[in-house]
Structure 1
């Protein structure tokens, strides 16, 4: 995998995102081929009334996959609609694997909330190396490939840079983006809400006293906020690999960091072993931290602060049990 290979793969992903952009806009505004309600056909996904799928999801995924099969016939394909609806998961290999969410934030899409878009990622050797997130309604195109940086409409990320970008040293200086998820069992929602409550509670009462909590309705826009520097942290348990594969590349190439998102609250793991672990993108638990500049005269302190903030968060949230997206 050379730099030229990655450049080619990124160009392909960008071209595909732009190709399906008009169909995405037609679906969002119910114009063109999606002007008739019967053609749009929003429906519950696998019987889950808190989740939905539309004709646009299926059309965009099929269009992207058809193109990828023509261009790279030996590459593997993982898509939200084809993989989720089959219920079979996927076999994870070292082969180049395209990971696509045709409409991330489908509930936002259905309700005309503009934080919704197209996510195209590429993993090689089980690691994400190319990411494109296109938010057509906001006219925001995020692009990144390993070792080549991350960009928003051609401008390098993060958009906010030192000295305007500060070095947060505690959760109380951070804005967190997270989601309530589409799994609505009492057990899952109780764990999630208790975790968020701890993060928001005053420090004197044992919480993290987060400065701000935001829920945009989609992992892709959440991760773009971290990459831009508009949010310090993203944490979620339960999203799928297609929700954040592309976003992981964009965050890390913007100077951010990603970690495993399994919480330690109530755990008997010794304090000495509570070190944020590397992300396994197939395990559906993630913490992302924005780029943090070094403190004056302290090289490497920005990276240490990223780990510190991730640890503080994980100390206050529960672990969640979700089946992995793929078998390895």
Structure 2
């Protein structure tokens, strides 16, 4: 895939995100075509009271895919609403595949909390290579393509560089973003709460003592915070490919790194085999870390610190088994 081809894909995704932005804002503020609450139609998704879908989700996904199909009729398409309503039995291939979340953070959207937006990612050979996240209410447009850097409203990411960005050497110096997820069974929530407790617990009590924990309500804004450099780490088990495909590109192109997020706490894995695995966007487990500058006189130390922090994170959290997205 040439750099020019990637630029073309990125330009198309960016243009489409901007085009559906006004409809997103209308839905958020319940005006225009979404002024009537009966037309808005917030519904439980597949009977899950902790998750919902609106007319805006469906309208934006339909509009985005219609534009993309008119330009790239041979490409594959995976969207949150079409996939959620038709089941997860789609085939994951090496073909160019557009992965779209029309309203990431729908619960935020419904409750007028501005951390919500549109995510458009493109995977080739099953790996995300283009990412666009538009947070219309915050007027933040994040764009990235493999090998070409990441940007917020045209400004290179991360927003801050040395000395404003430090080189944290432990989780106790880090701000962590995560989500509680929409699966509320006792087993899943118990696992999540145990992991978060270990992450926040003081070191003298066996915890990692992360400096602070943030929950914004959406994977897209979480990953944008990491790419900006205002959050150090993101971890979650259970999101879908459309939740973080675009964000993974934006984080890596900002100088950050993304890895498989399957936790190691309590796992029957020998210490010698506890190595970081590359992110598989279809496996629903992700750990991301922001850009970290090198320590003075130590080239490459920033990347080593990134890996060290993710290792500490995975040592503290439990894996939660989830079926992968699609048929691989």
TM-score, reference length from structure 1: 0.99
Match of 1:105 in 2: 105
- Structure 1 range deviating more: 147-156 or 87-96: 87-96
Match of 2:288 in 1: 288
Match of 1:63 in 2: 63
Alignment of 1:174-213 (within 5 A): 174-213=174-213
Alpha-carbon distance in 2 for matches of 1:181, 1:268:
25
CA root-mean-square deviation: 0.6
Q: CA deviation at 1:88?
A: 3.0
Q: CA deviation at 1:118?
A: 0.1
Q: Is 2:147 aligned against 1:147?
A: yes
Match of 2:255 in 1: 255
Alpha-carbon distance in 1 for matches of 2:90, 2:321:
18
Match of 2:53 in 1: 53
Q: CA deviation at 1:90?
A: 2.0
Match of 1:2 in 2: 2
Match of 2:269 in 1: 269
> Which secondary structure does the structure 2 equivalent of 1:77 belong to?
strand
Alignment of 1:80-229 (within 5 A): 80-229=80-229
> Which secondary structure does the structure 2 equivalent of 1:137 belong to?
helix
Alpha-carbon distance in 2 for matches of 1:172, 1:83:
39
Alpha-carbon distance in 2 for matches of 1:98, 1:262:
25
Divergent runs of 4+, >2 A:
none
Alpha-carbon distance in 2 for matches of 1:261, 1:210:
17
Give unpaired runs (5+ residues) of structure 2.
none
TM-score, reference length from structure 2: 0.99
Alpha-carbon distance in 1 for matches of 2:181, 2:115:
16
Q: CA deviation at 1:290?
A: 0.1
Alpha-carbon distance in 2 for matches of 1:242, 1:280:
13
Instruction: Give CA deviations for 1:118-156 in whole Å, capped at 9, x if unaligned.
Output: 000000011000000000000000000000000000000
Q: CA deviation at 1:87?
A: 1.1
Contact preservation (8 Å) 2:10, 2:131: yes
